[in-house]
């Protein structure tokens, strides 16, 4: 991509003034001779000058008008995850009020493309890392930049500002709700626990080895109240989905309900999975199964029956991220989620 060879100097020469004056025409038009105020844009247009070069201005002024965002895996995948989109929305909302741009970095290499290079070359004021697996190499590359960092959802390194939602507490609320309703056989469908594209049952070993803290926390938040209520592990079967999609949720539920028809309720780690799962339950004549989602995406309230779920305040999350990034307010924050009881939970039928 080549740019014009016309620079401030070109305009200055043509006008017989100094470069500084032309620069002022762009940056401080108020303190400029009225005559020049017209002439500068005119000659600029005539000569094909497209305004001060953004990169040069950045170098000189040191200002950075954007913040970098790095998500897990393919960037395009982040857009398919409603919860991720909700987060981006919240973050973008905070940024745009400050006039900042959001630089979304490729989250995954391809061919000769390397993520660390993209990280190294990002002209940004700081980085927000969303849901990176623990021990990610990309995290190291970001840390190497020496810019402000905020980690969202995961991982919690201890070394950097962390902002997240108390996942364990949210899961606990969901599990306790079902328990109070009288359920004793409660399945669960969880989003990836580790970056290995695994779909299938979650054993105790797999839970222990989980590298995604969010999933780990939710699994525990579900499990502990059930254990406390004396429910044996066999009555709390859990399935992992590598993808957060409607299809994945549906497949997990088909499997769960086929292998354990006695289940009366299912917990999900996202509304997306829950919605797909509900659909599958209905299709196999098990509309009676109680369902609790997680996130409270807009569809949750609108579909029929509306989904009981755990609400996460993404707008607040986004705001906090930016504050942490810019204000240097490096206190880590855990936002408390909330149970929203709607139409998909009821006492067990039997």
Considering only 275, 292, 310, 322, the residue that binds its own copies (CB under 8 A) is 275
DSSP β-ladder status, 265-268 and 338-340: unpaired
Q: Would you count residue 74 as binding its own copies (CB under 8 A)?
A: yes
Beta carbon nearer to DNA, 51 or 209: 51
Binding to DNA (CB under 7 A) within 221-280 occurs at none
Considering only 13, 14, 26, 303, the residue that binds DNA (CB under 7 A) is 26
Q: Give the whole-angstrom CA distance, residue 289 versus residue 344.
A: 8
Q: Give the whole-angstrom CA distance, residue 138 versus residue 132.
A: 9
Considering only 164, 170, 225, 276, the residue that binds its own copies (CB under 8 A) is 276
Q: Residue 241's beta-bridge partner residues?
A: 191
Q: Name the minimum Å distance from CB 2 to DNA.
A: 9
Q: Residue 3's beta-bridge partner residues?
A: none
Considering only 9, 20, 76, 203, the residue that binds its own copies (CB under 8 A) is 76
Q: What would you report as the CA-atom Rg of the chain, rounded to the nearest whole angstrom?
A: 26
Binding to DNA (CB under 7 A) within 53-72 occurs at 53, 56-57, 59-61
Beta carbon nearer to DNA, 35 or 234: 35
Q: What angle do CA 72, 75, 76 make, to 5 degrees?
A: 130
Are 317 and 146 in contact by the 8 Å Cβ rule? The answer is no
Considering only 13, 14, 32, 303, the residue that binds DNA (CB under 7 A) is 32
| Inter-CA distances, 255 with 52, 78, 106, 174, Å | 61, 26, 34, 22
Are 176 and 155 in contact by the 8 Å Cβ rule? The answer is no
Residue 205 buriedness (CB in 10 A; 0-12 / 13-18 / 19+): exposed
Q: Would you count residue 121 as binding its own copies (CB under 8 A)?
A: yes
List the single partner that 299 binds among DNA, its own copies, none, CB under 5 to 8 Å by kind. Answer: its own copies
Which range in 51-59, 133-141, 274-282, 315-323 contacts DNA by CB under 7 A? 51-59
Q: Would you count residue 13 as binding DNA (CB under 7 A)?
A: no
Where on the chain is the footprint of DNA (CB under 7 A)? 3, 5, 7-9, 12, 16-21, 23-24, 26-27, 31-33, 35-36, 51-53, 56-57, 59-61
């Amino acid at each position: 991509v080549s740019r014009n060879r016309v620079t401030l100097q070109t305009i200055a020469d043509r006008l017989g003034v100094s470069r500084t004056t032309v620069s002022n025409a762009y940056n401080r038009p108020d303190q400029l001779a009225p005559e020049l105020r017209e002439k500068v844009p005119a000659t600029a247009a005539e000569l094909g000058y497209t305004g001060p070069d953004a990169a040069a201005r950045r170098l000189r002024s040191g200002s950075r008008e954007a913040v970098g965002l790095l998500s897990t895996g393919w960037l395009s995948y982040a857009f398919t995850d409603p919860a991720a989109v909700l987060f981006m929305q919240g973050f973008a909302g905070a940024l745009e009020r400050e006039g900042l741009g959001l630089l979304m970095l490729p989250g995954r290499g391809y061919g000769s493309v390397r993520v660390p290079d993209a990280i190294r070359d990002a002209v940004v004021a700081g980085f927000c890392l969303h849901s990176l697996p623990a021990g990610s190499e990309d995290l190291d590359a970001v840390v190497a930049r020496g810019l402000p960092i905020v980690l969202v959802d995961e991982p919690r390194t201890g070394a950097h500002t962390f902002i997240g939602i108390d996942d364990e507490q949210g899961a606990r609320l969901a599990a306790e709700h079902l328990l109070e309703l009288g359920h004793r056989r409660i399945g669960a469908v969880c989003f990836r626990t580790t970056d290995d594209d695994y779909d299938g049952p979650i054993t105790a070993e797999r839970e222990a080895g989980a590298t995604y803290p969010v999933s780990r926390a939710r699994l525990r938040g579900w499990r502990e109240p059930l254990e406390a209520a004396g429910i044996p592990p066999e009555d709390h079967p859990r399935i992992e989905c590598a993808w957060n999609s409607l299809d994945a949720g549906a497949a997990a539920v088909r499997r769960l309900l086929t292998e354990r028809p006695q289940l009366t309720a299912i917990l999900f780690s996202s509304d997306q999975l829950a919605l797909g799962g509900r659909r599958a339950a209905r299709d196999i004549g098990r509309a009676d199964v109680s369902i609790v989602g997680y996130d409270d995406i807009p569809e949750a309230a609108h579909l029929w029956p509306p989904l009981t779920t755990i609400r996460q305040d993404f707008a607040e999350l986004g705001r906090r991220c930016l504050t942490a990034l810019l204000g240097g307010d490096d206190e880590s924050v855990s936002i408390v989620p909330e149970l929203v009881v709607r139409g998909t939970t009821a006492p067990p039928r039997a």
